Homo-oligomer: A and B are copies of this chain.
Amino acid sequence: MGIEDTNRREMLIGMGAGLVALKTGTASAQADPARKLGYAIVGLGSYATRQIMPQFANCKHSRLVALVSGTPEKLARYGAEYGIPARNRYSYASFDTIRDNPEIDIVYVVLPNSLHAEYVVRAAQAGKHVMCEKPMATSVAEARTMIGACRKAKRLLMIGYRSRFEPYNRLAIELARSGHVGPTRIITAEHGFDAKPGQWRLDRPLSGGGSLMDIGIYSLNAARYLAGEEPVQVSAIESTDRTDPRFRTVEDRIDFMLRFPSGVIANCVSSYSSNHNGYRVIGTKGYIDMEPATPYEGQRMMIRKDGQTTPRVLASTGPNQFVGQLDHLSECVKTGRTPIVPGEEGLADMRVIEAIYRAAREGRTVTLDAA
């Protein structure tokens, strides 16, 4: 089974029950399949400017056409760097006038978490398709509002789960689900970094939460995409030193376990005070190790099978995860397909995130209905 097959299968899995295929292609997009769709980037922080914006140069179906920022100096600096004309530079006050700009097909929201919902809804109401960074929102309720707004506007919504476009993660999904090391029994995943003080991510009104929202979500999302099903039991333990000035309003460590309908258990780590990034899919015949698993680059896969541990190296990896992600949404807009990581995928994570926080807070195993 090739990655393309996996892709199609994942896409089907990704399509939630309530999701209908939308006729979403704009007239201009459908008229010329070779046309690169125009992205507006909302929020010019370091992730947008250092990771995403440089990647448009490598895209086949996407180009950077507009910038949105509250800081005029940033608009001037990045506008000049990327050749964005003044008419395509927006403030948050003028943001809604993007509806009058046919060059913009897709709005990519890269704002602090608590602003995602507002800008996704406004983008959809302006008639644009939307890419939204993870975590999709700060609550299930917000996520539902965002999905509803995009559906009402007949516009696509995709969440920035870049690992789903990263070749080694795609291979891991394929190997895990095809039973390469036997049926999966246990998944372990750990993600953490040493949070630097003074960032919006440590300010609950902006972030909506601590390490879980920001980095632990990679452990959660990986557990879900590697298992290929939705958890039905969630247990969690939090550990935060509230005397650490970084953790006045958000949690540091919150580890959690998920039980899936097939019986797979995932043991997951989330930390704002230690550096690690990896997961392991343990089957009856061995395991698949990815470490690091979800960085911007440098993934490494090792496979333990038949008593031997060997590296697995892809001969050709194709476009990187950032390019893959940007072009995937453009292609979906052109073809009317549903993204493999639609709003429903972000909602699924938010649903478990709320359960993790509740499990930790109430000291009990939270049961979720089968999704």
Contact-size category for A: 35 or more
| CB neighbours of A7 from chain B (8 A) | none
Q: State the main secondary structure of chain A at its contact with B.
A: strand
Known: A276-B282, A276-B287, A364-B365. A267 touches B236 (CB 8 A): no
| Copies of this chain in the oligomer | 2
CA gap between A362 and B234 in the complex, in Å:
13
Known: A186-B253, A257-B255. A236 touches B239 (CB 8 A): no
Contact A273 B235 (CB under 8 A): no
Encode A213-245 as 1/0 by CB contact (under 8 A) with B.
000000000000000000001011101110000
Encode A92-106 as 1/0 by CB contact (under 8 A) with B.
000000000000000
* A138 close to B (CB within 8 Å): no
Contact A237 B257 (CB under 8 A): yes
CA gap between A185 and B274 in the complex, in Å:
7
Contact B265 A253 (CB under 8 A): yes
* A331 close to B (CB within 8 Å): no
Chain A residues 258 to 316 lying within 8 A of chain B, measured CB to CB, are 259, 263-265, 267-269, 271, 273-276, 282-284, 286-287
* A190 close to B (CB within 8 Å): yes
| CB neighbours of A257 from chain B (8 A) | 235-237, 255-257, 267
CA gap between A229 and B257 in the complex, in Å:
23
CA gap between A363 and B368 in the complex, in Å:
13
* A188 close to B (CB within 8 Å): yes
List the 10 closest pairs (A to B, CB-CB), nearest first: A363-B365, A185-B274, A364-B364, A239-B263, A235-B235, A274-B282, A237-B257, A267-B267, A255-B265, A239-B265
19 contacts between A and B (CB under 8 A): A185-B273, A188-B267, A194-B284, A233-B363, A235-B236, A235-B257, A236-B257, A237-B257, A237-B265, A239-B264, A240-B263, A241-B263, A257-B267, A274-B283, A274-B284, A275-B286, A276-B287, A363-B367, A364-B365
